[in-house]
Amino acid sequence: MRGGAPAEGTQHFDRVVVVDWSANSTPKRGADSIWIGSAGAGACAPENLATRVQAMDVLRARIDAGIGAGQRVLIAFDIGFGFPRGFAQHLTGQASALAVWDWLARHITDDARNRNNRFEVAAAINREFPGVGPFWGRPTGRVLPELPEKGLARHGHGLAELRETEALCSGAHPMWKLYTTGSVGSQSLLGIAHLEALRVEYGAALSVWPMQPADAPVVVVETYLSLIDAAVRKAQGYACKDAAQVDLLARALHRSDMSSLMVPPAAAAVLREEGWILGAGHHASLLKALDGAE
C-alpha cells in the first residue's frame, strides 16, 4: 500500500509518526525492538533503533523539521499514558496522569545502553499502596520483595486491572504487567519518563492528548498497534510485524479525520487521569482509511 492525501475537508496532521516502543535492557534491533513509522510530510521507510535514547533523538529531529516547516505533527506511542483510576491520586496527590509523568521523570533512570531501574521504581511504588501490588512481573532471581513475580500474588492494592479505554481494545494487557510477553507496564514506565522530558523541552509547542487540548503544533498521543492487525496480516515486504504495524498505522492515521478520532466517549475526569487510546473503538474506520490509500 502507498499512502495518499487525506480526504478533502477533514482535519489532519501534516506529519504522522508512530512508535513501537521497547523496554529492552540492552541495545537490540529487529523484531521486538523499537520501530518508527511515518506518513505525510517527511515520510520514509520504517526505522529500527537499537536504544531508547537513539529513538528519542530521531523523534526530536522529526519534531524540529515539522515545526521549522510550519507543519502540525502527530506522534503516536504504543504505550499507556495513564493508569487505572485512583493510582495517580494515591501516588502524587493529584488525579492527573501528567502528575504521574512528572513523578516518573524524577525517579526513572535509563541510559544510552538501555540500562534502567524500572523494576526498582515499580517496587518502590508498590510500597506506597496497601496490600501487595499493583505492579507485578520481574526476572527470576531479581530480589525485590515488594514486586511479586506473578500477578496472582497481588492483593488488597485497591486498583482495577484495566483502564476504561482498554475495554475497547481486544487483547490489551494491563499497565501493571512488567515482564514477559505483553509487558506494557515496563514500556510505559520508561516511555513516560522520556516523553515527560520531551514535554518539558518543547513547552507550549507540544501537548499530550487527551490530558491537554490537541491544538499545539506537536501532539503526542497513545495508540495501540493491534488496531490495524487485519491489514498487517495481509501486508508483505516488511522486515517484521513491528515494521508493518508502525508503517500501516501511520498511513491510516494520516488519512483519518482527527475530529472524529479525538472525541473519546469518556468523562473528562477519566481522560485526565487514565488517558485514552487514539483509535480505540475505531478499528473499522482506520482500516477503511488504509483501503483508500493509493
Average pLDDT over residues 197-211: 98
Residue 143 lies in a domain: no
Question: Contact 40/179 with Cβ under 8 angstroms?
Answer: no
Look at residue 291 in the predicted model and tell me its pLDDT. 86
Confidence of residue 1 (pLDDT cuts 50, 70, 90): very low
Asked if pLDDT for residue 7 goes beyond 80, the answer is no
Residue 197 lies in a domain: yes
Which of 6-20, 45-59, 87-101, 152-166 has the weakest average pLDDT? 6-20
Residue 217 lies in a domain: yes
Residue 17 lies in a domain: yes
Instruction: Tell me the percentage of the chain whose pLDDT exceeds 70.
Output: 95
Task: State CA 69 to chain mean position distance.
Answer: 25
Residue 126 lies in a domain: no
Distance CA 33, CA 248 (A): 17
From residue 291, give the alpha-carbon distance in Å to each of 236, 255, 285: 15, 10, 10
What average pLDDT is seen over the chain? 94
Asked if pLDDT for residue 211 goes beyond 60, the answer is yes
Look at residue 293 in the predicted model and tell me its pLDDT. 52
Bridge-partner residues for 34, per DSSP? 49
Asked if pLDDT for residue 4 goes beyond 90, the answer is no
Residue 37 lies in a domain: yes
Confidence of residue 3 (pLDDT cuts 50, 70, 90): very low
Identify the domain containing residue 205 by its residue range. 1-116+160-294
Confidence of residue 170 (pLDDT cuts 50, 70, 90): confident
* Cα torsion angle, 204, 258, 160, 190, sign: negative
Which residues touch 64 (CB under 8 Å, ≥6 apart)? none
Average pLDDT over residues 154-174: 95
Residue 100 lies in a domain: yes
Question: Contact 91/103 with Cβ under 8 angstroms?
Answer: yes
The angle that helices 118-127 and 97-107 make with each other, rounded to 10 degrees, is 120
Average pLDDT over residues 176-187: 95
From residue 65, give the alpha-carbon distance in Å to each of 6, 17, 58, 72: 21, 12, 11, 10
Number of independent structural domains in the chain: 1
Q: Record the pTM.
A: 0.94
Look at residue 99 in the predicted model and tell me its pLDDT. 98
* Per-residue pLDDT tens over the stretch 49-82: 999 999 999 999 999 999 999 999 999 999 999 9
* Per-residue pLDDT tens over the stretch 93-149: 999 999 999 999 999 999 999 999 999 999 999 999 999 999 999 999 899 999 999
Look at residue 8 in the predicted model and tell me its pLDDT. 34
Residue 153 lies in a domain: no
Average pLDDT over residues 199-206: 98
Asked if pLDDT for residue 10 goes beyond 70, the answer is no
* Per-residue pLDDT tens over the stretch 249-280: 999 999 998 888 999 999 999 999 999 999 99
Q: Strands 15-20 and 73-77: what pairing?
A: parallel
Question: Contact 240/288 with Cβ under 8 angstroms?
Answer: no
Element of type H or E holding 206: strand 206-208
